Structure formats: structure tokens, C-alpha cells
């Protein structure tokens, strides 16, 4: 996971990126639903390559740095 944000509509946006920061998966879910379902947010997820979108050039280095930081501090299934 390289980014987590909340908005004024009670949505949580999670962004998971590849280690090189060039591709990412963006997941949005209601904070209420996540709480009710007991959804876990983990340091990493396994997804098919075709589920990943290209990352804007301006975010690639930031995502790569954060992916490396998360990798060194957490196991993939650690809840974060």
C-alpha cells in the first residue's frame, strides 16, 4: 500500500503500487462498510497485472519509495 486517503463522503481510497511504482490498483470503499464487514487493510495485495493501471509520471518515484518503505517494515499480510 502506498497511499490511503479519506474524503468528505466517508470513502476510503487505498492505492497499492508495484515495487517500481509504475502501475497501481486504486480501491475505494465506504468506511462504514469496511467497519461493518471487518475488512482488513493489508500492506500488500495480490492482483492480476491487467487489473493495474499506469501511474502518472509525477507519482512514480513517490510510489516506488513508499512501496520499498512498506516492504521493509511490514510483511505483505500485515494489517496496516
Grid cell at residue 39: 475488512
Sign of CA dihedral 17, 46, 44, 34: positive
Mean pLDDT of 30-48: 87
Q: Which residue has the cell 496496516?
A: 80
Please tell me whether the overall predicted TM-score, pTM, comes out greater than 0.95 for this model: no
SS3 74: coil
Whole-number mean pLDDT of the chain?
94
Q: Are strands 3-6 and 11-17 parallel, antiparallel or unpaired?
A: antiparallel
Residue 36, pLDDT above cutoff 90: no
Q: What is the pLDDT of residue 33?
A: 82
* CA distance linking residue 37 with residue 23, whole number of Å: 28
Q: What is the pLDDT of residue 31?
A: 87
Q: What is the pLDDT of residue 40?
A: 84
Amino acid at each position: 500500500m502506498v497511499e490511503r486517503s479519506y474524503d468528505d463522503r466517508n470513502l476510503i481510497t487505498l492505492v497499492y503500487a508495484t515495487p517500481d511504482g509504475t502501475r497501481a490498483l486504486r480501491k475505494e470503499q465506504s468506511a462504514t462498510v469496511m467497519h461493518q464487514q471487518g475488512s482488513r487493510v493489508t500492506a500488500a495485495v495480490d492482483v492480476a497485472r491487467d487489473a493495474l493501471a499506469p501511474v502518472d509520471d509525477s507519482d512514480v518515484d513517490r510510489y516506488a519509495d513508499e512501496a520499498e518503505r512498506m516492504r521493509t517494515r511490514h510483511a505483505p499480510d500485515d494489517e496496516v
